[in-house]
Structure 1
Amino acid sequence: MALIEKELAHFKHAIAVPGMGVAMQEKLKETRVLVVGAGGLGSPVIQYLSASGVGVIGIADYGVITDEDMHRQPIYQMQDLRKHKAKMAASRLWASNPFTKHYPLLLQVKPENIKQLLEGMDLVIDCSQHHATHLVINDACVAHGKPFVIGEVHNWVSWWAGFNIAPASGDAAASYRCNLDMIDDHRNFDAGAIGVTHGATGMMIVNEVLKYIAGVPDGLANKFYSMNFLHNTYQVNTLFPDAGILADIRAKGVLTAEEYGIDIVPDIED
């Protein structure tokens, strides 16, 4: 998809980066990404996806903006309080990059709608930080052959990983379900959330996603990244596919809300 003259000017510094160029900027423009969650982690993700020139961003979030969340969701403003995150995020993003199509999806991601949400999308980034939602997205993406990224932030520690993305070696792609034990080791559910750790993690996720779109080999494929911001320790671990688990996911497909343990919220009447 060719860039218009205004886009060439808008993205000229990104285009000038070695290895990027006009062709890569055009590839970003052709890419469609679904982001689940527009909160502390989702906010920087959608901001930098948009700023980078990703062509279509679906923003799925049924929540509203609250005062206590503002410290880690700087995409919003005080006048946005009690308004829907997805709608206000789309408005703010358009104001800084009108070349990207930002679609607010004021809904809960659940078994009944996940297939429809995946249609036409090239990649899913799950910023819900909600285990049951991770499982829904995992099962649907594996069943429908969609690559996806999940990230979480817990106090000073964060992690993010690429799933259903086969490495260049030809090995099978790992899923979220295949690596639950390792993922659980990186969780800390003590109270508290720091804005900067969410922002830094979101930008690291987008950096890897941009490399993936650009065709950089194995940046996300079967890789699990973690960062301890308090002690400045960064780790990269390998994700391992489990053939039995993958076969079970493909055989069963997406389960019911009750099986996932998801409390269904009423649809929003906008």
Structure 2
Amino acid sequence: MALLEKELAHFRHSIAVPGMGVAMQEKLKETRILVVGAGGLGSPVIQYLSASGVGVIGIADYGVINDEDMHRQPLYQMQDIRKHKAKMAASRLWASNPFSKHYPLLLQVKPDNIKQLLQGMDLVIDCSQHTATHLVINDACISEGKPFVIGEVHNWVSWWAGFNIAPVSGDAAASYRCALELIDDHRNFDAGAIGVTHGATGMMMVNEVLKFIAGVPDGLANKFYSMNFLHNTYEVSTLAPNATILADTRAKGVLTADDYGMEIVPDIED
């Protein structure tokens, strides 16, 4: 998809980066990404996906903006409080990059709609920080053959990983279900949330996604990244695909909301 003259000017500094160029900027323009969650983690993710020139960004979030969350959602402004995050995010992103299409999806991602949401998407980034949603996305993406990225932030510690992305070695791609034990080791459900840890994690996730789109080998494939921002320790682990889990997931497909322990919220009337 050829860039307009105005896009060439808008993205000229990105195009000038070694290894990027016009062809890669055009590839970003052709990419369609579904982002689930537009809160503390989703906000920086969608901001930098848009700023980088990703052509289509679906923003799925049924929640509203709250005053107490503003410290980690600088995409929004005080006059946006009590308005829907997805709708305000699309408006804010268009204001800084009118060349991308930002689609607000005011809905809960759930078993009944996940496959429809995946249609036409090249990649899913799950920023919901909600286990049941992670599992729904995992099962649907495995069933539909879609690559996906999940991240979470817990106080000073965060993690993010690529799933259903096969390494160049030819090994099988790991799923979220294959990594549950490792993920549990990086969770801390104590109260509190720091804005900067969400922002930094979101940017690091987008950096890996951009490398994936650019064809950099194995940056996300079977890789699990974690960062302890308090002690400045950064770790990379290799995920091991579990053939039994993968086969079982493919056989069962997307389960019911009850199976996931997911509470279904009423549809948004807007």
Task: Give deviations 1:167-203, integer Å, cap 9, x for gaps.
Answer: 0000000000011001100000000000000000000
Q: How does 1:45-124 map to 2 (within 5 A)?
A: 45-124=45-124
Q: Distance in 1 between matches of 2:178 and 2:221?
A: 14
Q: How does 1:173-188 map to 2 (within 5 A)?
A: 173-188=173-188
Q: Distance in 1 between matches of 2:138 and 2:32?
A: 18
For 1:128, the equivalent position in structure 2 comes to 128
For 1:144, the equivalent position in structure 2 comes to 144
Task: Give deviations 1:226-260, integer Å, cap 9, x for gaps.
Answer: 00000000000001100000000000000000000
Task: Give deviations 1:94-127, integer Å, cap 9, x for gaps.
Answer: 0000000000000000000000000000000000
Task: Give deviations 1:117-166, integer Å, cap 9, x for gaps.
Answer: 00000000000000000000000000000000000000000000000000
SS in 1 for 2:218: coil
Distance apart, 1:19 and its partner CA: 0.3
For 1:260, the equivalent position in structure 2 comes to 260
Q: How does 1:23-42 map to 2 (within 5 A)?
A: 23-42=23-42
For 1:236, the equivalent position in structure 2 comes to 236
For 1:162, the equivalent position in structure 2 comes to 162
Amino acid aligned to 2:249: I
Q: Distance in 2 between matches of 1:71 and 1:179?
A: 31
Task: Give deviations 1:49-102, integer Å, cap 9, x for gaps.
Answer: 000000000000000000000000000000000000000000000000000000
Q: Distance in 2 between matches of 1:78 and 1:145?
A: 40
Q: Distance in 2 between matches of 1:154 and 1:182?
A: 15
SS in 2 for 1:237: strand
For 2:203, the equivalent position in structure 1 comes to 203
Q: Distance in 1 between matches of 2:30 and 2:122?
A: 9
1:216 pairs with 2:213? no
TM value normalised by structure 1: 1.00
1:192 pairs with 2:188? no
Q: Distance in 2 between matches of 1:179 and 1:48?
A: 27
Amino acid aligned to 1:122: D
For 1:22, the equivalent position in structure 2 comes to 22
State the 4+ residue runs in structure 1 displaced beyond 4 angstroms. none
Q: Distance in 1 between matches of 2:230 and 2:251?
A: 42
Q: Distance in 2 between matches of 1:105 and 1:79?
A: 21
SS in 1 for 2:83: coil
Task: Give deviations 1:25-45, integer Å, cap 9, x for gaps.
Answer: 000000000000000000000
Amino acid aligned to 1:175: S
For 2:269, the equivalent position in structure 1 comes to 269
Gaps of 5+ in 2: none
SS in 1 for 2:160: strand
Q: Distance in 2 between matches of 1:178 and 1:46?
A: 27
Q: Distance in 2 between matches of 1:91 and 1:218?
A: 34
Q: Distance in 2 between matches of 1:91 and 1:248?
A: 41
RMSD: 0.2
Q: Distance in 2 between matches of 1:254 and 1:175?
A: 14
